[in-house]
């Protein structure tokens, strides 16, 4: 191949061993431009995979996205405080602490079921969940984007559905025990925050705060290694993205008899709809290595 750096537009000035004709010079320029574009795309990716980037999109947080996240967070806090303010005895405090921990367990399971659903069913036209389905499908094509988004830009789609839930729960909380309010608030808040935990699972260790690394390494938050397995063929497990504690349980019986395969067969028997993972989705990108660096 000719040294493209030595080719001018007219093809008349050539250094090096090969003399190029104008057509060859034009081809060399095109090749040079393609190489530059590819280098720019690779520079945008924390992974070393040479894949094209996503369509142009704004990763900064808009005022609307910030309002959604702030509103949902205020409602979480109101619900949590509603429960905590009713603690009147050591037993009630123990009940609320247990409920908060139960919320953490439930949130991991719920994040897995939700993630499995949006990965495998529906599309952009699906009511309510359409944009989230598109988002999760896009995530499998361009997973590095989750690390580039600002906080509210990344979180608002998951926070939005919790707003009607929190309003409903607050409206009935005068009849609910304190521990149940704490359970509802903790579960909903951690399911919503799973998108942040998910983002951290895609972030290189060298780019994470020490506290997050410590929580991941102790298995309190889903680890980079565990979630990396979700992005490898056959793309049918490790759906839980809070702590990941449920992943080995739900995937324990393998690709035929695991929890999600049984759920898929059940839905298929009811609706005839097959999940995407039955046909091993052809994602352009696949996790190759570890993010432990």
Interface with Zn ion (CB under 5 A):
119
Q: Which is nearer to Zn ion, 80 or 119 (CB)?
A: 119
Q: CA dihedral in degrees (79, 149, 194, 114; nearest 10)?
A: 100
Q: How far is the CB of 282 from Zn ion (least distance, A)?
A: 14
CB atoms within 10 A of CB 11: 17
Least CB distance to Zn ion at residue 227 (A): 6
| Nearest distance, CB of residue 140 and Zn ion, angstroms | 6
Closer CB to Zn ion, 119 or 181, in the complex? 119
Handedness of CA 122, 125, 126, 132 (dihedral sign): positive
| Shortest Å, Cβ 255 to Zn ion | 16
- Give residue 174's Cα distance to chain centre: 35
* CB-nearer residue toward Zn ion: 169 or 197: 197
Q: Residue 154 Cβ, how far from Zn ion at the closest point, in Å?
A: 12
CA–CA separation, 266 and 150 (whole Å): 38
Is 49:288 a contact under the CB 8 Å cutoff?
Answer: yes
What are the backbone angles phi and psi of residue 7, rounded to the nearest 5°? -100, 130
Angle at 92 between CA 89 and CA 94, to 5 degrees: 110
In the complex with Zn ion, the residue whose CB is nearer, 91 or 293, is 293
Indicate the residue whose CB is closest to Zn ion.
119
Output 144 or 165, the one with its CB closest to Zn ion.
Answer: 144
DSSP 47-63: S------PSP---SPPH
Query: Minimal distance in Å, beta carbon 139 to Zn ion?
Result: 6
State in angstroms the smallest separation of the CB of 47 from Zn ion. Answer: 12
Neighbours of 136 (CB within 10 A): 18
Our CB check for Zn ion shows the closer of 166 and 238 to be 238
Question: Nearer to Zn ion by C-beta: 119 or 264?
Answer: 119
Asked if residue 238 lies in contact with residue 260, where contact means CB atoms within 8 angstroms, the answer is no
> 15 and 4 in contact (C-beta within 8 Å)?
no
Q: Which residues pair with 7 in a beta bridge?
A: 14
């Amino acid at each position: 191949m000719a040294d493209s750096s030595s080719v001018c537009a007219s093809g008349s000035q050539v250094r090096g061993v090969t003399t190029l004709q104008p057509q060859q010079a034009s081809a060399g320029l095109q090749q040079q431009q393609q190489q530059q574009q590819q280098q720019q795309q690779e520079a945008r990716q924390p992974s070393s995979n040479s894949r094209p980037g996503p369509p142009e999109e704004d990763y900064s947080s808009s005022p609307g996205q910030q309002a959604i996240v702030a509103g949902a967070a205020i409602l979480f806090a109101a619900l949590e405080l509603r429960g905590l303010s009713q603690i009147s005895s050591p037993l009630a405090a123990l009940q609320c602490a247990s409920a908060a921990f139960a919320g953490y367990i439930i949130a991991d399971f719920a994040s897995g079921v939700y993630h499995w659903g949006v990965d495998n069913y529906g599309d952009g036209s699906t009511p309510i969940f359409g944009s989230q389905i598109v988002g999760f499908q896009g995530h499998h094509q361009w997973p590095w984007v989750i690390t580039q988004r600002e906080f509210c830009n990344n979180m608002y789609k998951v926070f939005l559905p919790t707003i009607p839930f929190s309003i409903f729960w607050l409206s009935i909380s005068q009849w609910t025990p304190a521990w149940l309010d704490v359970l509802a608030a903790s579960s909903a808040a951690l399911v919503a925050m799973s998108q942040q935990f998910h983002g951290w699972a895609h972030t290189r260790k060298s780019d994470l705060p020490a506290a997050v690394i410590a929580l991941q390494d102790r298995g309190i938050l889903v680890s980079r290694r565990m979630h990396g397995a979700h992005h490898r063929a056959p793309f049918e497990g490790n759906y839980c993205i809070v702590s990941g504690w449920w992943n080995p349980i739900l995937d324990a019986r393998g690709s035929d008899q695991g929890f999600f395969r049984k759920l898929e067969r059940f839905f298929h028997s009811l609706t005839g709809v097959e999940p995407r993972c039955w046909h091993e989705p052809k994602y352009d990108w696949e996790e190759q290595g570890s993010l432990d660096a």
